Amino acid sequence: MKEHKLGIIMNGVTGRMGTNQHLIRSICAIRDQGGVQISPNERITVDPILTGRNEDKLKALAENNGVSRWTTNLDEALADSENQIFFDASSTLHRARFVEMAAKAGKAVYCEKPTAVTTEEALRLAQICEDFGIKNGVVQDKLWLPGIRKLKKLIKDGFFGEILSVRGEFGYWVFTGVDEGQPAQRPSWNYRKEDGGGIMIDMLCHWRYLVDNVFGSIKSISCRGATHVAERIDEQGNPYKCTADDSCYATMELENGIICQFNSSWTVRVRRDDLFVMQVDGNKGSAVVGLRECRTQSIGETPRPVWNPDVVQSIDFHEGWKTVEEGEEYDNAFKVEWELFLRHVALNEPFPYDLRSGAKGVELAELGLNSWKAKKWIDL
């Protein structure tokens, strides 16, 4: 059995994303399944080491997940040649410093999005990785959601005919901490611009790689943001002023003529199929895609309604949609991308989701913010 054993420095994983998606559901899951099996006699195995600032938190997280290595000394972890990969899930504004350190130490770098809050900084980080000749990647998890994978197959099979437009609705009510019995729900830095927060920088990064990879290149964007909730309660129970946008109303025009509209919000309540729902309309058929589900209506199945508010609607518009069958087993989206990155590092397989492509997400967010400020369409 040929084994590629990869030591992985996991930095900032005591946080929400780091713990749940990256440590537990990706790296520990890969470890527990015996690694990534390449062929009957070749596999990649993982050996994580947790790094961060707080000894107690690291120790507890490591123990709870059967991880033997952790340290508050990142330099030491970087100096160890057994650790080939550096992963970062710390909050956004810390990313640059860590990525630079890891690149200089010659580690392959994988990190959460956004890589930075300005395009200039995101491109600088990509350039540093390229200059040091290290493999690098950014989390673009939505590409491997079951719903999106089903959608991509429909597109490949020509189900839609010509795609005309796409409407995405993302969001849910994120508790502010103000209402009794309803503790604040997301880390407070998300709502402070000065700490790298804001829904535009958060979500437009996702919409960039999603749209680029599934529908086509974005030509221009028009965007309106808002801070609907002015004050929230922080981790210490103190009120703080929200300085970042909590909602984003974006319209994008693609090179191929498709119009995409995406609403992103932390201040809406859900009466739709899922936390993220996207409707794709084409001249031959439409689909409504959620995180897992995908439902279709072909031209032949499309009802012919008549506008008459004076009588009760005779058509149930939720009927007449077909649920796309589960074609395969869908692993956790973060884990799928991790496995691709591990293969990239161990076997040199291609991995297009690098820091340069991550910078495109930051670019869309920055242009969205500029469009809001200037109240105009901006070309990419």
Ligand X SMILES: NC(=O)c1ccc[n+]([C@@H]2O[C@H](COP(=O)([O-])OP(=O)(O)OC[C@H]3O[C@@H](n4cnc5c(N)ncnc54)[C@H](O)[C@@H]3O)[C@@H](O)[C@H]2O)c1
The residues of the shown chain that bind ligand X, judged by CB under 6 A, are: 12, 14-18, 52-53, 89-92, 94, 112-114, 139, 141, 187, 202
Q: Residue 170 burial (CB < 10 Å; 0-12/13-18/19+)?
A: buried
Written as six digits, the tokens of 34 are 């015996």
Nearest distance in Å: CB 125, ligand X: 13
Nearest distance in Å: CB 152, ligand X: 19
Strands 285-289 and 247-254: unpaired
3-state helix, strand, coil in the chain (%, to 5): 35, 25, 40
Q: List beta partners, residue 109.
A: 86, 136
Nearest distance in Å: CB 97, ligand X: 8
* Helices (H), ranges, the chain: 16-17, 29-32, 55-64, 74-79, 95-104, 119-131, 146-156, 199-214, 333-347, 355-374
DSSP E strands: which ranges in 266-332? Answer: 276-282, 285-289, 294-298, 322-323
Nearest distance in Å: CB 45, ligand X: 25
Which residue number, 7 or 198, has a Cβ lying nearer to ligand X? 198
Q: Can you give the length of the chain in residues?
A: 380
Which residue number, 148 or 163, has a Cβ lying nearer to ligand X? 148
Q: Point out the residue whose Cβ comes nearest to ligand X.
A: 15
Nearest distance in Å: CB 175, ligand X: 15
Nearest distance in Å: CB 280, ligand X: 21
Which residue number, 17 or 108, has a Cβ lying nearer to ligand X? 17
CA distance 176 to 268: 12
Which residue number, 214 or 258, has a Cβ lying nearer to ligand X? 214
Written as six digits, the tokens of 339 are 């496995």
Which residue number, 7 or 52, has a Cβ lying nearer to ligand X? 52
Which residue number, 138 or 258, has a Cβ lying nearer to ligand X? 138
Which residue number, 51 or 286, has a Cβ lying nearer to ligand X? 51
Nearest distance in Å: CB 235, ligand X: 9
Listed residue (301, 304, 273) closest to 289, CA to CA? 273
CA–CA distance from 337 to each of 25, 252, 344, 352 (Å)?
12, 26, 10, 11
Which residue number, 98 or 372, has a Cβ lying nearer to ligand X? 98
Which residue number, 39 or 238, has a Cβ lying nearer to ligand X? 238
Of all helices (H) and strands (E), which one includes residue 263?
strand 259-265
Nearest distance in Å: CB 26, ligand X: 12
Nearest distance in Å: CB 23, ligand X: 10
Cβ atoms < 10 Å from Cβ of 81: 10
Cβ atoms < 10 Å from Cβ of 207: 27
The string over 25-64, giving b where at least 16 C-beta atoms fall within 10 Å of a residue's C-beta and e elsewhere, is bbbbbbbeeebbebeeeebbebbbbbbbeeeebbeebbee
Nearest distance in Å: CB 179, ligand X: 22
Which residue number, 56 or 157, has a Cβ lying nearer to ligand X? 56
CA–CA distance from 98 to each of 113, 167, 200 (Å)?
14, 36, 23
* Beta carbons of 240 and 217 less than 8 angstroms apart: no
